[in-house]
């Protein structure tokens, strides 16, 4: 196995690239803070052997002892939370947020998801196949994890770092960043990414994650941030410019959805997604990988729902099949 890529950001702070095999994200950035008496690891990668080997390699390279290490998880997705139960010692604290913990520990999660996806037009013959191949089903923690819950404004002290919890819902309902006010560093998880856009999606037509995401972006925009340490890809040195780009991207998405519904009449979320513009190397919608269709449909619904709350779109159909049209 190749050595784990490790970058020293400053004294006692490191970024380790944890590989995500056969995943378009390529790797998760795991941040390691060395301190006494405890170290802190921010996000871990998936619960799979390749990720675990990379984390253990980083621990060995940096002389980090598992028995002296705590964990902070930004959000519920498997590429961030997956390994915490595998890596944590009996005395370790695993910091997490309550809304995402509720999702992770929900007993009938995948049964519920199957019902919701069918409601929004995802083809019934593909639903089971998509769920069975979903990374969240296979690479999340295997058992129920005992978390130490954090709230907005809580302070975690590790080494010379004073880390303030900043709740930023949108990408998930409880997504939480960490902010170091003296250095003006933001550990952003998947709230702010550089050369890719965070997936803002939902299967629950009563939620409004895009509205929450805009609010969370505004919250961070008001903070002095000199360096963003994201969950994937490169570090970000101009936080406010990137926030402006992300908001522009989603505003363009909203107008694209309006145009699709105006030109094509009532459509379900799957049909809207099939007509949206996606940054994927595929000849057309039919050539999209199954999981990309899944994430695209959820993102289409998040934008439709935002427009519905604004009053620009109305909902039709019933609780079994829902369609949307221009108001």
What are the tens digits of pLDDT across the range 247-262?
Answer: 999 999 999 999 999 9
Domain count, the chain: 1
Output 142 or 219, whichever has higher pLDDT: 219
Q: Of 55-59, 90-94, 228-232, 291-295, which gets the smallest average pLDDT?
A: 291-295
Q: What is the dihedral of CA 228, 231, 233, 234, to 10 degrees?
A: 20
d(CA 14, CA 149): 24
In a domain, 41, yes or no: yes
In a domain, 105, yes or no: yes
In a domain, 1, yes or no: no
Q: How far is CA 188 from the centre of its chain?
A: 10
Residue 175 sits in which domain range?
6-326
Q: Are 307 and 211 in contact (CB under 8 A)?
A: no
d(CA 38, CA 231): 22
In a domain, 220, yes or no: yes
In a domain, 149, yes or no: yes
Instruction: List pLDDT tens digits, range 30-72.
Output: 999 999 999 999 999 999 999 999 999 999 999 999 999 999 9
CATH of the domain at 232: 3.60.15.10
d(CA 206, CA 250): 19
In a domain, 221, yes or no: yes
In a domain, 21, yes or no: yes
In a domain, 77, yes or no: yes
């Amino acid at each position: 196995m190749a050595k784990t890529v490790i970058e020293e950001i400053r004294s006692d702070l490191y970024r380790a690239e944890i590989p995500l095999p056969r995943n378009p994200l390529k790797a998760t950035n795991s941040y390691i803070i060395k301190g006494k008496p405890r170290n802190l690891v921010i996000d871990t990668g998936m619960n799979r052997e390749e990720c675990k080997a990379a984390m253990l390699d980083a621990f060995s390279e940096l002389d980090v002892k598992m028995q002296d290490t705590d964990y902070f998880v930004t959000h519920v997705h498997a590429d961030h939370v997956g390994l915490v139960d595998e890596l944590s010692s009996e005395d370790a604290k695993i910091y997490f947020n309550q809304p995402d913990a509720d999702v992770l520990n929900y007993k009938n999660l995948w049964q519920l998801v199957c019902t919701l996806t069918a409601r929004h037009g995802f083809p019934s013959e593909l639903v089971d196949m998509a769920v069975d191949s979903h990374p969240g089903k296979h690479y999340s923690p295997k058992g129920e994890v005992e978390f130490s819950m954090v709230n907005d404004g809580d302070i975690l002290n590790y080494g010379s770092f004073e880390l303030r919890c900043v709740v930023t819902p949108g990408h998930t309902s409880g997504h939480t960043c960490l902010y170091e006010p003296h250095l003006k560093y933001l550990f952003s998880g998947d709230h702010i990414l550089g050369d890719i856009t965070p997936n803002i999606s939902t299967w629950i037509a009563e939620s409004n994650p895009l509205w929450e995401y805009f609010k969370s972006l505004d919250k961070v925009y008001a903070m002095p941030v000199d360096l963003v340490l994201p969950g994937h890809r490169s570090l970000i040195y101009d936080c406010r410019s990137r926030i402006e780009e992300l908001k522009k991207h989603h505003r363009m998405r909203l107008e694209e959805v309006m145009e699709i519904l105006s030109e094509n009449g009532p459509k379900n979320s799957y049909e809207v997604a099939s007509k949206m513009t996606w940054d994927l190397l595929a000849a057309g919608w039919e050539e999209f990988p199954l999981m990309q269709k899944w994430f695209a449909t959820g993102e289409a619904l998040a934008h439709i729902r935002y427009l519905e709350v604004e009053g620009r779109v109305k909902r039709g159909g019933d609780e079994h099949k829902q369609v949307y049209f221009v108001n």
